[in-house]
Amino acid sequence: MEMSVGTIVTVVLLMAVLILGVFLVQGIFTTTDNVINEVDRKVNDEINKLFTQDSNKKVVIFPESPVIKQGNTGGIGISIKNPENQNTVKLKYNVLYESDDCGGAGDGLISLGASTTNAITLGSGQQMDSARLLRFRTTESTPICEVSYLIDVYHSDTNQPYAQKNFVLQVIS
């Protein structure tokens, strides 16, 4: 079976385009991973600063005053610390909707990370290795308002309170 020169050239060109496409897609994913890692590093750096400012804090979030536009998603990082001279603790948390100024429309905006399923173990003076993401999702019809939440951290084995942190999510247009 003989192939014409045109067929051979077409096959070679198609293989070259395929290989270039694979490298292009690989480059896009590598760049995306690098951006995500950089954002994660910056959030963790800011959380470390918050713990450094007050060594007695047990729970911090970043940003401390989250703002999300209608129809968008956004989030905050949550981190927990066990202060010095404390026993090792196993903790869990729940993020609870408290109230809003928009007739209850703020309830149900949390789309990811509202609670932990596995205990977080922290030794004396330890904090979480990386922040947990709490993601919010709004729709175009979500009213402009402020929504109050409570992060309730508790001992996973006894359900006894460990720490609490209130924050307000602002939905803007």
Q: pTM of the prediction?
A: 0.76
Tell me what the pLDDT averaged over the chain comes to.
88
Distance, CA of 48 to CA of 40 (rounded, Å): 12
- Asked if residue 16 is part of any domain, the answer here is no
143 in any annotated domain: yes
On whether residue 146 sits in a domain, the answer given is: yes
Considering only 24-28, 71-75, 79-83, 99-103, which range has the smallest mean pLDDT? 24-28
User: How many domains would you assign to the chain?
Assistant: 1
What mean pLDDT comes out for the span 56-77?
92
CA proximity to 78, closest of 155, 7, 163, 161: 163
Q: What is the mean pLDDT of residues 29-45?
A: 76
114-156 tens-digit pLDDT? 888 889 999 988 999 888 989 999 999 999 999 999 999 999 9
Q: Is 36 exposed, middle or buried (0-12, 13-18, 19+ CB in 10 A)?
A: exposed
With respect to residue 66, please indicate whether it lies within any of the assigned structural domains. yes
Q: Which residues contact 88 (CB under 8 A, 6 or more apart)?
A: 82, 121, 122, 123, 124
CATH number, domain with residue 106: 2.60.40.3880
Q: Inform me whether the pLDDT recorded for 1 exceeds 70.
A: no
Q: Which domain holds residue 82?
A: 49-172
Give tens-digit pLDDT for 86-113.
789 999 999 999 999 988 888 889 998 8
Q: Choose among 132, 48, 128, 43: nearest CA to 90.
A: 128
At 89 the pLDDT is 92
**158 lies in a domain?**
yes
32 is a domain residue? no
Please say if the pLDDT value at position 27 is more than 90. Answer: no
Residue 24 lies inside a defined structural domain of this protein = no
Would you tell me how many other CB atoms lie within 10 Å of the CB of residue 71?
Answer: 13
Rounded Cα–Cα distance for residues 94 and 73 (Å): 20
* pLDDT score, position 86: 78
User: Is 83 part of any domain?
Assistant: yes
